[in-house]
């Protein structure tokens, strides 16, 4: 054996194994048999090829990565570092400008926090409150469709949640807002508002439209003794604690109704009900601000309907000048209930068991609640509301006559006859009482014609004419006839059936418009 040749072959095999361990270099095999021996020339050539392949992978013969090509990269970094060091240092003016910009940004942020953040937080609080009211309002509306009157407690609670978001508190400032002084109210009523102003009147109102229209009593915002306009003096406090200025759209002093408007969103208008469908004995609720206590609700029943005439009652006899009364003893078709209504409830809603508006609370007998209260039926209030929205005022039909009861007219005639013949009026009255037992005392008698150009005069009505029918409908009494005339359309033709000196006559009259005075 040639020992040097064996060592050389072993060395070659070791180098070849090292090279084969690198990526892409694999020892060839031949069925598991070893390759034949190679001479030194072939080993040198093969070694050169391995060196070339290693160089392609960036390695030297020992498998170490070559780093000689990084020299230029390090030089480039040093050049960049020198360029950065040679950049000019910021001047004092540029530093001052940068400082001023920073201070300006801080001031803008502080201004936002001072002025915009409180209003933003307040708006968020209002939105949350309105959202809560909306949820209660909608849920209550669904519950009222299925709740039974047997569960009165649940019914009252549900009605309250449904109606209270629609009820507002109305106040009339004593002075215009520009000249108003921040003095407290001298009315003795509690002040629960975020402002402190001297108030002339206060009451309640009810939202009847999403556009911000509010229905209330005219006497709540009527400052009759003042020459100041109501513009800018009417304040409305909403259930979500917002306070808005209200504009007077129009009013009907005879019906004691007024329409206001506010600019606000997120409102909860009440649903109109039909007062004509209400039966005596039905449960009703009144919501309002008695004595300034907003959001108060009371419960009772409907005691009576179509109270057309309060003359002769305690309301007519109480010591209140007629010009200061909230409602007229006539021109009224009122609903009576035993719901507790006190000063401050005026203008608030009377609702049924579905939370629907069936009346506007307007009057009581006496200075305080005595178990009898009156409200304007929704059937009348809705007509007034719609006509005021359409024309800005309430027009009312008019004949131009003064009417009296049949018995009163005969009594007056008996007294005049007694004076003419020198008899005692009591004797004539005795004979009249027998006549009353035989004849019905229905209809109304013309006592006076107010002017020659009135519709009644132009149609030929005379003193003493006994009107028994209005548009082929029997006339129950004076109040019934006045009510029918007042709700007739201006310019419409109506038919009257009258008794004159024992004869029955039919005539046609064109309805005029009732003068403002």
Report all structural domains of the chain as residue ranges with CATH numbers, in order of start: 132-394 (2.40.10.120), 398-513 (2.30.42.10)
Given pLDDT bands bounded at 50, 70 and 90, which one contains residue 33? very low
- H-helix segments, 112-232: 117-144, 152-163, 218-221
With 60 as the cut, is the pLDDT of residue 433 above it? no
Which token pair is 439? 């004849």
Q: What is the pLDDT of residue 490?
A: 87
* Cα separation, 313 vs 316, whole angstroms: 5
Any idea what the Cα angle at residue 323 is, between residues 320 and 325, rounded to 5°?
50
**pLDDT at residue 261 is higher than 90:** yes
pLDDT-derived band at 40 (thresholds 50, 70, 90) equals very low
- What pLDDT band is residue 315 in, cutting at 50, 70 and 90? very low
How many other CB atoms sit within 10 Å of the CB of residue 136?
17
- Taking the model in full, what pTM does it have? 0.61
Note the pLDDT of residue 53. Answer: 52
| Of 272 and 311, the one with more pLDDT | 272
**CA distances (Å), 149 to each of 157, 219, 387, 428, in order?**
12, 35, 35, 56
pLDDT band at residue 217 using 50, 70 and 90 as cut-offs: very high
Phi, psi at 48, each rounded to 5°? -65, -40
Catalytic residue among 173, 219, 333, 466: 219
Yes or no: say if 505 and 498 are a contact pair by the CB < 8 Å rule: yes
CA 143 to mean position of chain CA atoms: 21
Of residues 379, 162, 85, the one with CA closest to residue 255: 379
Please tell me the predicted confidence (pLDDT) of residue 513. Answer: 86
Mean pLDDT of the chain: 75
For residue 391, indicate whether it is catalytic: no
Overall average pLDDT of the 428-450 stretch? 64
397 pLDDT more than 70: yes
- How large is the average pLDDT for residues 467-471? 92
Length of the chain: 517
Pairing relationship of beta strands 356-364 and 271-272 according to DSSP bridges: parallel
Name the CA dihedral angle for 316, 317, 320, 324, rounded to a multiple of 10 degrees. 20
CB of 449 within 8 A of CB of 457? yes
User: Which one has a higher pLDDT value, 365 or 229?
Assistant: 365
Q: Give the closest residue to 170 by CA, choosing from 189, 142, 146.
A: 189
CA distance 425 to 419: 8
Dist. CA 416–CA 408, nearest whole Å: 12
207 forms beta bridges with 214
| Selected residue with higher pLDDT from 485 and 112 | 485
Q: Which of 256, 333, 338, 480 is catalytic?
A: 256
Strand ranges in 185-282 using DSSP code E only, listed in sequence order:
199-207, 213-216, 234-237, 243-245, 247-252, 257-261, 271-272
Count CA atoms closer than 13 A to 476's CA, side-chain side. Answer: 8
Angle, helices 117-144 vs 152-163, to 10°: value is: 140
Report phi then psi at 86, rounded to 5.
-85, -5
Q: Give me the sign of the Cα torsion angle 13, 16, 21, 24.
A: negative
Say yes or no to pLDDT of 151 above 70: yes
> Looking at 249-258, 407-416, 448-457, which range is the least confident one?
407-416
Considering 294, 332, 337, 346, which one is annotated as catalytic? 346
- pLDDT exceeds 50 at position 280: yes
Per-residue pLDDT at 98 exceeds 60:
yes
Question: How much of the chain, in percent, has pLDDT values that exceed 70?
Answer: 67
Is residue 154 within 8 Å of residue 147, measured between CB atoms? Answer: yes
**pLDDT level of residue 107 (50, 70, 90 thresholds):** confident
Q: What is the pLDDT of residue 311?
A: 53
Residue identified by tokens 């933003």 is 120
User: What average pLDDT does this structure show over 239-266?
Assistant: 91
For residue range 323-364, list pLDDT tens digits in order.
444 444 444 689 999 999 998 999 999 999 999 999 999 988
The predicted structure's pLDDT at residue 418: 76
The tokens for 389 are 């929205």
Is 150 one of the catalytic residues? no
Helices 3-20 and 40-56 pack at an angle, to 10 degrees, of: 20
Q: Which of 124-138, 177-191, 338-352, 458-472 has the lowest mean pLDDT?
A: 177-191
Residue 270, pLDDT above cutoff 60: yes
Q: What is the mean pLDDT of residues 423-445?
A: 56
Q: What is the model's pLDDT at position 246?
A: 93
Helix (H) or strand (E) holding 420: helix 406-421
Per-residue pLDDT at 483: 81
Q: Is 346 a catalytic residue?
A: yes
Q: CA separation (Å) from 266 to 37, 43, 236, 253, 263?
A: 101, 96, 15, 30, 10
Q: How far is CA 495 from CA 20, 145, 473, in A?
A: 126, 44, 10
Provide the 8-state DSSP code for 277.
Answer: G
Contacts of 422 (CB under 8 A, 6+ apart): none
Neighbouring C-beta atoms of residue 261, cutoff 10 Å: 18
What is the C-alpha separation between 240 and 128, in angstroms, rounded?
Answer: 10
Give the integer Cα–Cα distance in Å for 234 and 229.
Answer: 10
**Average pLDDT, integer, range 238-248:** 92
Q: How far apart are CA 170 and CA 256, in angstroms?
A: 15
For 360, phi then psi, to 5°, come to: -115, 115
Kindly report the backbone phi and psi dihedral angles of residue 446, in degrees, each rounded to the nearest multiple of 5, phi listed first: -75, 115
The gap from C-alpha 409 to its chain's centroid, in whole angstroms, comes to: 51
pLDDT score for 307: 78
């Amino acid at each position: 054996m040639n020992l040097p040749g064996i060592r050389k072959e072993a060395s070659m095999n070791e180098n070849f194994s090292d090279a084969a361990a690198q990526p892409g270099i694999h020892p060839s095999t031949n069925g598991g048999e070893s390759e034949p021996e190679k001479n030194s020339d072939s080993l040198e050539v093969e070694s050169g090829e391995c060196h070339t392949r290693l160089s392609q992978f960036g390695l030297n013969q020992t498998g170490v990565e070559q780093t000689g090509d990084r020299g230029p990269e390090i030089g480039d970094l040093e050049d960049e570092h020198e360029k950065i060091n040679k950049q000019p240092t910021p001047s004092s003016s540029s530093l001052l400008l940068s400082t001023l910009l920073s201070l300006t940004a801080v001031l803008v942020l502080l201004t936002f926090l001072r002025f915009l953040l409180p209003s933003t937080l307040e708006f968020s609080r209002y939105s949350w409150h309105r959202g809560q009211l909306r949820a209660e309002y909608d849920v209550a509306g669904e519950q009222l469709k299925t709740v039974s009157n047997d569960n009165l407690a649940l019914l009252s609670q549900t009605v309250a949640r449904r109606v209270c978001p629609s009820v507002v508190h109305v106040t009339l400032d004593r002075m215009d807002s520009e000249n108003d002084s921040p003095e407290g109210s001298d009315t003795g009523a509690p002040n629960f508002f975020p402002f402190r102003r001297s108030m002339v009147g206060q009451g309640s109102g009810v939202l009847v439209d999403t556009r911000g229209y509010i229905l209330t009593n005219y006497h709540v915002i009527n400052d009759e003794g003042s020459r100041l306009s109501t513009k800018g003096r009417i304040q409305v406090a909403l259930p979500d604690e917002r306070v808005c200025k209200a504009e007077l759209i129009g009013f009907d002093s005879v019906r004691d109704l007024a329409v206001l408007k506010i600019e606000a969103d997120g409102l909860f208008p009440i649903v109109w009900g039909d007062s004509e469908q209400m039966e005596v004995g039905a449960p009703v609720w009144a919501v309002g601000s008695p004595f300034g206590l907003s959001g108060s609700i009371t419960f009772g029943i409907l005691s009576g309907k179509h109270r057309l005439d309060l003359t002769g009652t305690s309301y007519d006899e109480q010591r209140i000048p007629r010009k200061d009364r909230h409602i007229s003893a006539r021109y009224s078709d009122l609903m009576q209930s035993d719901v507790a209504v006190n000063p401050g409830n005026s203008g608030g809603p009377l609702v049924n068991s579905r939370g629907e508006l069936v009346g506007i609370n307007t009057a009581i007998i006496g200075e305080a609640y005595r178990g009898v209260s009156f409200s304007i039926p929704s059937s009348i209030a809705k007509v007034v509301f719609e006509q005021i929205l359409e024309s800005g005022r309430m027009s009312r039909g008019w004949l131009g006559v003064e009417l009296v009861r049949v018995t009163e007219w005969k009594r007056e005639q008996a007294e005049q006859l007694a004076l003419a013949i020198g008899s005692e009026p009591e004797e004539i009255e005795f004979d009249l009482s027998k006549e009353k037992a035989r004849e019905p005392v229905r209809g109304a008698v013309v006592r006076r014609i107010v002017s020659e150009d009135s519709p009644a005069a132009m149609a030929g009505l005379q003193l003493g004419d006994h009107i028994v029918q209005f548009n082929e409908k029997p006339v129950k009494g004076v109040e019934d006839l006045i009510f029918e005339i007042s709700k007739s359309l201006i310019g419409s033709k109506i038919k009257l059936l009258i008794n004159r000196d024992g004869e029955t006559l039919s005539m046609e009259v064109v309805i005029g418009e009732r003068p403002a005075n």
